[in-house]
């Protein structure tokens, strides 16, 4: 843990991406939905997920795969967040997700294929990304996005309505991912680690890891930016991303690279006005 800045008293507003902030403020204008989701859906959803996790996954602790547990604890200390439950699930698909509606039984799930693909530092960055969802309290609106889309599909003219709702909500979901990538960077405190795991999720395989080139991947991100130089290219990019739950990996890598050299990031991690170097006491459901 030595050498990393621990952000005692960190607030989500200090690292939340501007697009996430704007979209969240718009959703907060919907009266009563936040409370209804927390009170009605929260208790049921938490119990369903808890039962599924303890029945079908390995619960990580200081006695069960302690290396992953200590990685979780350190990430929580850095982000000034209570330690949630962590589960490891057997799956050939590299993925991770989290859920919290009332904050009583928050959890993070990692797939085994993800752990096999990434280095320990990259795995911790994924854990931190999921913790970012908890820190930013994304669970309520992520659940709302799923419920609205499901309800719209059951109504008259539901297909058209569902498309409109899905477009609006998926835009917020994609914005939320940028904030969580920032949480990952706050924990690993090295933008190359975040970019490297995005590269591997984009097209990596354990057998090919020695041949992967991060600089080439970042150049690829710049090529993606250049597509917007033409009106047609920009339109095609927008059409391609409308239905996605995540921004494309090259865009996420570019965003985190930019934020890592910003005064905002420097103030949090380098100058560290709200924290200190050393350990502190550890105080929606979204795929990586």
Whether 130 is catalytic is yes
Residue 10's closest CA among 186, 244, 207? Answer: 186
CA distance 284 to 192: 27
Determine whether 217 is exposed, middle or buried from the number of CB atoms within 10 Å of its CB (0-12, 13-18, 19+).
Answer: buried
The three-class DSSP label of residue 131 is helix
Q: Are 99 and 112 in contact (CB under 8 A)?
A: no
Helix (H) or strand (E) holding 143: helix 139-152
Extended beta strands in 45-139, E state: 58-60, 85-89, 96-99, 107-111
CA atoms within 13 A on the CB side of 35: 4
In the block, residue with structure tokens 């990019």 = 237
Q: Annotated catalytic residue: which of 77, 122, 130, 177?
A: 130
Annotate 111-129 with DSSP letters as a single string: EHHHHHHS-HHHHHHHHHH
Please list the active-site residues.
Answer: 130
């Amino acid at each position: 843990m030595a050498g990393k800045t621990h952000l005692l008293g960190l607030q989500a507003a200090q690292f939340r991406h501007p697009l996430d902030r704007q979209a969240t403020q718009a959703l907060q204008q919907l009266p009563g939905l936040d409370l209804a989701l927390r009170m009605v859906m929260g208790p049921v959803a938490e119990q369903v997920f808890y039962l599924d996790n303890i029945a079908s996954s390995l619960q990580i602790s200081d006695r069960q795969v302690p290396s992953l547990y200590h990685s979780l604890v350190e990430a929580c200390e850095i982000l000034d967040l209570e330690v949630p439950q962590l589960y490891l699930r057997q799956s050939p698909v590299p993925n991770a997700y989290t859920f919290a509606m009332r904050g009583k039984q928050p959890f993070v799930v990692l797939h085994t294929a993800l752990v096999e693909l990434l280095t320990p530092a990259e795995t911790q960055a994924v854990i931190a990304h999921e913790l970012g969802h908890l820190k930013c309290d994304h669970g309520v609106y992520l659940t709302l996005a799923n419920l609205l889309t499901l309800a719209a599909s059951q109504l008259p003219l539901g297909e058209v309505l569902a498309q409109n709702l899905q477009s609006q909500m998926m835009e917020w979901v994609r914005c939320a991912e940028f904030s969580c990538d920032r949480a990952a960077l706050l924990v690993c405190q090295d933008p190359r680690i975040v970019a490297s795991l995005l590269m591997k999720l984009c097209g990596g395989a354990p057998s090919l890891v020695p041949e992967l080139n991060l600089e080439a991947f970042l150049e690829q991100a710049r090529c993606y930016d250049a597509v917007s130089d033409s009106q047609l290219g920009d339109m095609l990019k927008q059409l391609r991303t409308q239905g996605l739950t995540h921004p494309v990996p090259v865009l996420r890598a570019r965003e985190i690279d930019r934020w890592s050299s910003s005064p905002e990031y420097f103030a949090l991690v380098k100058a560290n006005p709200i924290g200190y170097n050393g350990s502190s006491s550890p105080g929606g459901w979204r795929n990586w």
